[in-house]
C-alpha cells in the first residue's frame, strides 16, 4: 500500500512538471484573444459588470413587494396593579346601565367579573407574545423608476469600460509581439553578419600569417566580431525580458514557453495589404466617446430624478398579527391594512440645490463631449498623417537597406580579391548594420502607426 502511494505521488509530480513546461503557440490575433480571456486586470474590470448588475437588482428590489416577519415576547414579572372607577358601589350601577344602553355586553361582562360590585380590582399583568407578518408595496414613486433607468445605464458604462480595457490589453499585446519579432529579425541579421565577419577574420588571419596584411587588420575584425557578439547577447536578454512581460500580460506562468508563429515579414505584409488611409472615422464607434455618451444619459436622468423629488410617494401595506400570549382585556385587531402618502413640502432648499447641481454636472458632461469629439477628430487626422509618413519612411529605408547590402557585398568581394582595405570593409559593414537597424525601426513605426489607428477605430 505504501509503495502504491509513492508511485501515485511520483506520477502526480511528473504530471505537474509537464504542466509547468507546457508550451503555447500564438499568432498575433490568437495572443490578443488569449489575453482577453486570461489577463487578470481585465478580469477585474469584467467583474464591474457583475457588480453593476447586482446594483441594478438592488435598485429594482426597492419597488418589489417587501415581506417582513417578527415574533415578540414580553414579560411583566407578574406585576399587578389596582384599577378603581372612583365611585365605589354608587358608581357601578351607572357604568353597568351605560354599557347596557350601548350594547357593549362583552365589556360589561368583563368589568363585572374583574371588578365585581365594588368598582375596583387588582389586575395581574400576564406575559405577552405575538407573531407578526407585514407586506408592503411601493405603488407610485417617479424617482424609483428614474433611478432604475440610471442603474441600467451604469451597467452599460461598465460594459463599455470593459471594451475600452480590452482594446488597451490588445494594444499592449501587439506592441510586445512587435518588439519580440523585431528583435528576432535583428538577431537574424547579426548572426549573418557574425558569420560573414568570422569568414573574413579567417581569411585575414591567413593573409597575416603569410605577411600580406598587418596584425592591426586582424584585430580590427576581432573587435567587430566582439561587438556583434555583445549586441547579440544584449538582444537575447531583451527578448527574454520582453517575453516575460508578454507572459504576464497574457496571464501565462513564467515557466511556460511561447512560440510566435508570425514573423517580421508576415506582420509587415498584413499592414501593407490594408489601406487604412482610405477608411472613414466613425466617432460613434469609439469606446471613449461611447462611455461619455452614457454618462450624458445618466446626467439627464439625474436631472429628471431631482425634478420628481417634488412629487408624492404612495405605498401600501398589510399587517397580520397572531397573538400567542395575551391579556384577558386585549382589544387590538389581528389584521390591519393601509396606505402611506408621503408629500414633500419644504426641504430647506436642498431639493432645488440638488436639481441645480445636476444641471451643472450635465452641462460639464456636454462640454466634455464636444471637447472629446474635437480631440478624436484631431487625433484621427494626426494618426493618418503619422501613418502616411511611416509608409514613406518604410519605403525609403527599405531602398537604403538594399543599397547598403549591395555595397557591403561588393566591398566584401573586392576585399577577398585584395582590391580594398579592411577599413573600407569595416565601414561598409557598419553602414549596412545601421541601414538594417533603420529599416527595422521604420517597420516598427509603421506597425505602431497602424495599431494606433486600429485602436482609435475600435478595430483591434
Position 309 scores a pLDDT of 79
Question: Please, where in the chain does CATH 1.20.1600.10 lie?
Answer: 22-68+140-313+345-456
Q: Report the C-alpha gap between 97 and 288 in whole angstroms.
A: 85
User: What CATH number labels 22-68+140-313+345-456?
Assistant: 1.20.1600.10
pLDDT tens digits, one per residue of 282-325 = 888 888 898 888 888 888 888 888 888 788 888 888 888 888 77
- The set of cell numbers assigned to 180 is 519580440
Q: Report the C-alpha gap between 305 and 354 in whole angstroms.
A: 10
pLDDT tens digits, one per residue of 105-135 = 555 565 565 555 555 556 677 788 888 888 8
At residue 6, does pLDDT exceed 50? no
**pLDDT category, 374, cuts 50, 70, 90?**
very high
**pLDDT category, 399, cuts 50, 70, 90?**
very high
Can you give 313-373 as a three-state secondary structure string? EEEEEEEEEEEEECCCCCCCCCEEEEEEEECCCCCCCHHHHHHHHHHHHHHHHHHHHHHHH
Judged on CB neighbours under 10 Å (0-12, 13-18, 19+), 310 is: middle
- The set of cell numbers assigned to 378 is 484631431
Per DSSP bridges, beta strands 23-26 and 257-260 are parallel
pLDDT tens digits, one per residue of 409-460 = 898 888 877 788 878 888 888 888 889 889 999 999 999 999 999 999 888 8
Gyration radius (Cα) of the chain, Å = 43
At residue 100, does pLDDT exceed 50? yes
At residue 90, does pLDDT exceed 70? no
Judged on CB neighbours under 10 Å (0-12, 13-18, 19+), 425 is: buried
Q: Report the C-alpha gap between 168 and 246 in whole angstroms.
A: 14
Mean pLDDT of the chain: 81
Which residues have CB under 8 Å from 18's CB, separation 6+?
none
Q: Which of 254-268, 326-340, 382-396 has the highest mean pLDDT?
A: 382-396
Using an 8 Å Cβ cutoff, are 387 and 277 in contact? yes
Using an 8 Å Cβ cutoff, are 143 and 309 in contact? yes
Position 81 scores a pLDDT of 61
Amino acid at each position: 500500500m505504501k509503495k502504491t502511494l509513492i508511485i501515485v505521488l511520483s506520477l502526480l509530480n511528473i504530471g505537474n512538471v509537464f504542466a509547468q513546461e507546457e508550451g503555447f503557440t500564438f499568432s498575433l490575433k490568437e495572443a490578443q484573444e488569449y489575453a482577453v480571456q486570461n489577463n487578470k486586470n481585465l478580469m477585474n474590470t469584467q467583474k464591474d459588470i457583475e457588480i453593476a448588475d447586482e446594483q441594478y437588482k438592488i435598485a429594482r428590489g426597492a419597488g418589489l413587494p417587501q415581506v417582513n416577519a417578527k415574533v415578540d415576547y414580553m414579560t411583566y414579572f407578574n406585576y399587578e396593579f389596582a384599577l378603581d372607577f372612583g365611585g365605589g358601589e354608587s358608581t357601578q350601577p351607572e357604568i353597568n346601565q351605560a354599557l347596557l344602553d350601548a350594547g357593549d355586553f362583552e365589556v360589561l361582562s368583563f368589568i363585572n367579573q374583574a371588578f365585581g360590585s365594588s368598582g375596583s380590582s387588582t389586575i395581574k399583568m400576564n406575559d405577552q407574545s405575538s407573531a407578526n407578518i407585514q407586506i408592503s408595496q411601493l405603488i407610485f414613486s417617479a424617482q424609483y423608476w428614474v433611478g432604475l433607468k440610471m442603474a441600467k445605464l451604469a451597467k452599460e458604462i461598465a460594459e463599455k469600460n470593459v471594451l475600452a480595457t480590452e482594446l488597451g490589453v490588445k494594444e499592449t499585446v501587439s506592441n510586445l509581439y512587435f518588439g519580440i519579432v523585431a528583435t528576432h529579425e535583428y538577431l537574424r541579421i547579426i548572426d549573418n553578419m557574425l558569420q560573414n565577419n568570422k569568414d573574413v577574420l579567417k581569411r585575414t588571419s591567413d593573409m597575416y600569417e603569410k605577411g600580406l596584411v598587418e596584425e592591426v587588420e586582424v584585430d580590427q575584425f576581432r573587435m567587430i566580431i566582439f561587438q556583434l557578439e555583445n549586441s547579440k547577447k544584449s538582444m537575447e536578454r531583451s527578448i527574454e525580458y520582453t517575453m516575460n512581460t508578454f507572459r504576464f500580460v497574457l496571464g501565462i506562468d513564467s515557466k511556460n514557453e511561447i512560440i510566435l508563429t508570425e514573423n517580421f515579414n508576415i506582420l509587415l505584409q498584413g499592414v501593407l495589404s490594408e489601406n487604412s488611409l482610405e477608411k472613414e472615422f466613425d466617432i460613434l464607434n469609439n469606446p471613449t466617446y461611447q462611455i461619455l455618451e452614457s454618462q450624458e444619459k445618466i446626467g439627464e436622468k439625474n436631472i429628471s430624478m431631482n425634478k420628481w423629488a417634488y412629487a408624492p410617494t404612495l405605498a401600501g401595506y398589510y399587517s397580520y398579527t397572531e397573538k400567542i400570549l395575551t391579556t384577558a382585556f386585549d382589544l387590538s385587531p389581528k389584521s390591519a391594512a393601509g396606505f402611506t402618502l408621503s408629500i414633500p413640502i419644504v426641504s430647506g432648499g436642498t431639493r432645488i440645490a440638488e436639481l441645480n447641481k445636476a444641471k451643472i454636472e450635465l452641462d460639464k458632461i456636454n462640454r466634455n463631449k464636444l471637447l472629446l469629439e474635437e480631440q478624436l477628430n484631431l487625433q484621427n487626422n494626426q494618426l493618418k498623417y503619422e501613418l502616411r509618413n511611416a509608409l514613406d519612411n518604410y519605403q525609403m529605408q527599405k531602398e537604403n537597406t538594399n543599397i547598403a547590402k549591395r555595397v557591403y557585398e561588393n566591398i566584401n568581394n573586392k576585399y577577398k580579391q585584395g582590391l580594398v582595405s579592411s577599413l573600407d570593409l569595416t565601414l561598409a559593414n557598419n553602414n549596412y548594420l545601421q541601414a538594417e537597424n533603420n529599416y527595422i525601426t521604420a517597420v516598427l513605426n509603421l506597425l505602431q502607426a497602424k495599431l494606433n489607428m486600429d485602436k482609435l477605430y475600435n478595430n483591434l
